[in-house]
A = this chain, B = another copy of it.
Amino acid sequence: MERIDSKHNQQIKQLKKLATPKGRKHQQRYLLESWHLVQEALSALPAAEIEMIYATDDQYLEHGSKLSDLPVTLISDAVAQELGETTTPQGIFLVCKLQAPVVEPDYHGAWLLLDQVQDPGNIGTMVRTADAAGFAGVVFGNGTASPYNGKVLRAMQGSQFHLQVVEADLKAVLDWFHTKHQPIYGTELNPEAVNYREVQPQRDFALIMGNEGNGMNPVLLHQTTKNLYIPITGHAESLNVAIAAAVIMFRIKAD
């Protein structure tokens, strides 16, 4: 088993570059951190997609028995600290291939569409919530943080392995929904917006969440079937975007 003790090792330097969109695009792979996410990847991915597991001695002693037949490289605590994006990394990482883009997407079921959503924590939480609510998938539109961003990955808690995660131009996605006559719900506060409680629970639809500050892209807004709002009965000015998405998803998605 290979062992890397120096954070100046070339392999480690390459892995560090996976923290950026450019590095991931160039190397066509990404890095997952923590035993929870490594486990999720192991149970979801075909072995061919897993390139390498990096573990400190402690982590290998604890989990090595569940890693048989998989390529493992041991790393020092200093290397783990260098690779980790949290202040106290657990010391276990997995590198796997970027998902290939879907050629002919099929958006049956309930889909969450993210339109220029910025905050990685909110994005990851929305994917995790969509998973829990039984959504078929989440589309990351242009201008939305990447699903392979470290903070997004941590907040998703492995949900990217349970539902479909697609990066796509939302205009094309909405065209698909129009062609299939499936409703598209926006979340832009405007005079025609409808109380979300008036929408009957249903199985096939798209729900678009817009940018935290600026709301939805007007071009997309124009294509919505209805815009939904959550009545605020207190004095808060607004809801956090992940909270609003959760309240609507759990209300309008039929089991």
A residues with CB within 8 A of B = 121, 125, 128-135, 157, 159, 162-163, 230-240, 242-243, 246-247, 250-251, 253, 255
Contacts and interface: CB of A to CB of B under 8 A. Distances in A.
A234 B125 contact: no
Contacts of A240: 125, 128-129, 242
Nearest to A159: B236
Copies of chain A in the complex: 2
B134 A234 contact: yes
Contact of A239 (B132, B233, B238): B132
A234 B157 contact: no
A231 B254 CA distance: 12
A235 B129 contact: no
Contact of A243 (B129, B235, B255): B129
A134 B250 CA distance: 19
Main secondary structure on chain A at its contact with chain B?
loop
Contacts of A251: 250-251
A129 B230 CA distance: 11
Nearest to A233: B134
Contacts of A231: 255
Interface centre among A157, A163, A231, A250 (most CB of B within 10 A): A250
B236 A162 contact: yes
Contacts of A238: 132
16 contacts: A121-B121, A128-B236, A128-B239, A129-B236, A129-B239, A129-B240, A132-B232, A159-B234, A159-B235, A162-B235, A163-B235, A230-B250, A233-B253, A239-B246, A242-B243, A247-B247
Given A125-B243, A162-B236, A163-B234, 14 more contacts: A125-B240, A128-B239, A128-B243, A131-B234, A132-B230, A132-B233, A157-B236, A163-B235, A230-B250, A233-B255, A239-B246, A242-B243, A246-B246, A247-B250
